[in-house]
Structures are given as structure tokens and as C-alpha cells.
Amino acid sequence: MTLVAKWIDKKIKDKYIHYFEYDKFSQIAEIGKGGFGKVSKANLTNTGLVALKSFVDENSNIEEDELNRLDDEFVKELELLREVDYHQNINRVLGITKG
């Protein structure tokens, strides 16, 4: 298990991040690619339209140093978004899933 996976597990257990079952998402459609992987839109049960931001697949051909850098950047971005998710111009982080 990577350090970022351990960090995510701890944050879920501490209820800092909400975990969503992947089967709660429907009508998933890719809308772009970002630094961590792809970005999709989807419907979340009882919530409506949401954006899904995917990790780069750990089994891809990315060098370990690059994967560690992406992990660090993801953690920093997630922490920052959690701090400012009250602002109307910032996308709120609802939680995390695994699909």
C-alpha cells in the first residue's frame, strides 16, 4: 500500500473524507484529462451531477519518482480544497471512491 493510500485510509477512518461506494455513481462520462488522470462527470445517488477526478493507475508505466510526486501533489490539493470548500467559486470535495 502506498503512503497516499495509507493517508487516505486514515482520513476516511477519522471521518475527514467521506467514502462513496462506486456503484452509487451512474452515467459516468469522461470530460477531460488532468495531472492525476481523467476527469469525468457522473450522477451521484441523492446528490445529482458531480465531477469525478481519477488517480493515475499505479500499474501504468509511470516512474516511481513521478508517481510519488503525483501522490504528494494530490494530497496537497485535497487538503487545500477541504480548507476552502465553503467558497462559491471552488468545487467542493464530497469524498472519495474506488472504482
- In Å, the largest CA–CA distance within the chain is 39
Say how far residue 62 (Cα) sits from the centre of its chain. Answer: 19
- Give residue limits of the domains in the chain: 3-83
Report CA-CA distances (Å) from 26 to 40, 41, 43, 52: 11, 9, 5, 11
Binding-site sequence positions for ATP: 53
Q: Say what the pLDDT of residue 6 is.
A: 83
Q: Give 36-39 contacts, CB < 8 A, sequence gap 24+.
A: 36/70, 36/73, 36/74
pLDDT interval class at 86 (50, 70, 90): confident
**Directed axis angle between helix 3-13 and helix 64-83, to 10°?**
30
Binding-site sequence positions: 53
Tens of pLDDT, residue by residue over 17-63, are 899 999 999 999 999 986 667 889 999 999 999 988 887 655 566 67
Nearest C-alpha neighbor of 69 from the set 36, 39, 97, 96: 36
Q: Say what the pLDDT of residue 74 is.
A: 77
**Hey, what CATH topology would domain 3-83 get?**
Phosphorylase Kinase; domain 1 (3.30.200)
Q: Say what the pLDDT of residue 32 is.
A: 92
Q: Which residues pair with 34 in a beta bridge?
A: 37
- What average pLDDT does this structure show over 76-83? 79
